[in-house]
Structure 1
Amino acid sequence: MSKIQSELGNSSAIHRNKRKYKEYLWAYAFIASPIIGFLLFAFIPISYSVYVSFTKYSGYQAPVVTGTANYERLLTDDPLFWKTLFNTFYSALSVPIGMAAALAIAIALNQRIRGILFFRVMFFLPTISSVVALTLLWKWIFNSDYGLLNYFLGLLGIIGPAWLSSEQWAMPAMIIQGVWAGLGFNMVLYLAALQGVPQSLYEAAEIDGANGWQRFLRITIPGISPTTLFILITSIIATMQDFPRFQIMTEGGPNYSTTTIVYYLFQNAFRYMEMGYASAMAWIIGILLMLITLLNFWLSRRWVHYD
């Protein structure tokens, strides 16, 4: 009897092992595609770019190792690198302005009034629209001769500037467009965060005599701080990598006033065919983004509340 039970137990164990083995096979089959895709289109190219950054490489001929020459040229002998880096941080002014505007709109759209869903959809609609189409639309709006913005300024008796052809006004115009472009996505995130703040906290604060501004500072801001950190980090990364808007609207001009670091990288790689130099620039940007992100996480311990 015991022998039969032992054989049955062994058979059951073998069956369980076969079923577990099949489950592992299916699991590996499902994760194989993204892993292979990451290796082929991310890890291998990124790893190769490290090597290329230490070479002189045009893309047509074999790379010639030059050591740290690309990095030395980048940091000590290329004033355009520092100018475009300044332009990139200048354009990043759209981040705090856009976050404040998105929060204000989210608070307004968090009200329980009739037809509020329509306004939420209208504010979010540009987020799912073509970046190229929206950028071309704004290029027309900023046109100094027949643009919509200067037309309305003219109705107020104000002579509008040459927005995209002026060194003084080109970057402010890009900041305005950048703020508008990011409103919809950030607004939705803030709206979700606002709805997650417990109403009981507001009720308790109101009973204690706190006014609206005090409730906003002491309850709303801490309650949505994790979302604020997420928006801050992702917006900075997106701004540092912003490329299509500047290519379409200004092509980096006038006189490099709107040439961002990524657009300058593109010019070096595909216009001047200096792949090695562009790879070195890409790694400098990557390291800079990593440092900024780590700094934000470190500072967030003082103002982000997860309770």
Structure 2
Amino acid sequence: MLPDESRSAAGRSPEGGLPGCYRHPQTATGVSCTRCERPICPQCMVTASVGFQCPECVGDGHAGTRRATTRFGGALTVDGGLVTRALIGVNLVVWLLAAYVLTPRLGQVWSLFSAGRDILGGPAGVADGPHEWYRLLTAVFLHLEWWHVGMNMLVLFWLGPPLEEALGRLRFLALYLLSGLGGSTFAFLVAGHRMESVGASGAIFGLIGATIVMQLRSRGPLAPAMAFLVFNLVMTFSRPNIDWRAHLGGLALGALTAFGLMYAPRERRGLVQGLTVVGAVAVEAAMLLTGMALYGA
């Protein structure tokens, strides 16, 4: 409705002398919007720095206001560690179920298990086909030992909040999941003929790689993050029964994803970040399909 039309409608107010509200013509009012000068009733008026404004003018003003974001384009929130705590909670709940409630069934069904076509009874697990590919993700949340989940969650509690605060919740969650899936798919590509693995270590190594990228991007102290990475790599290759493939795959995918998210130019940030996520998914899909060609039916 145009301002002139609203005034005409307002003139039909039953109370002579006072115009009617432009939204409620039967309600007489002596107050006008300080921006468009249309009459507004108490139900419609919004307090402004000077006088009152109508809802449309307030909405137009907000539309022109730039939305506050995190450094790398995420939505700004008061609590920068919510997703981190939620991930820790999910991992702990799954550990309790697997270790004490649904033992050993949950561990058998959710583990990153694969046996190739050359194994008697194979292919099985991930190599058996799409109906078993869910293991690539469920294994990221599955732990069977208290020390395993404890170590991974301690690192997540340490590295997660700074990354989540810088990236925003959605980008941080995408980074975590893509890192975990990167570790799973790389492990399947390398050893899908005979493997069984569990744990969030691929996702955790992805966060380590992302922390290094963030320090490079912000020109912060790099030595602590590099020392922590070297320490974890030494532990990976010096102790038995550790799936180094998941660690290296998660590290690579996490670092590459973080690079695309953090180095995206401001004027094309959304496009570049979206392409980064799509590209990471494409790389993981390529590793999965290549592994299926090697080991699957």
For the aligned pair, the TM-score class normalised by the smaller chain equals under 0.3
TM-score (norm. length: structure 2): 0.24
Of structures 1 and 2, the one with the larger relative CO (CA 8 A, separation 6+) is: 1
As a proportion of its length, which structure holds more helix? 1
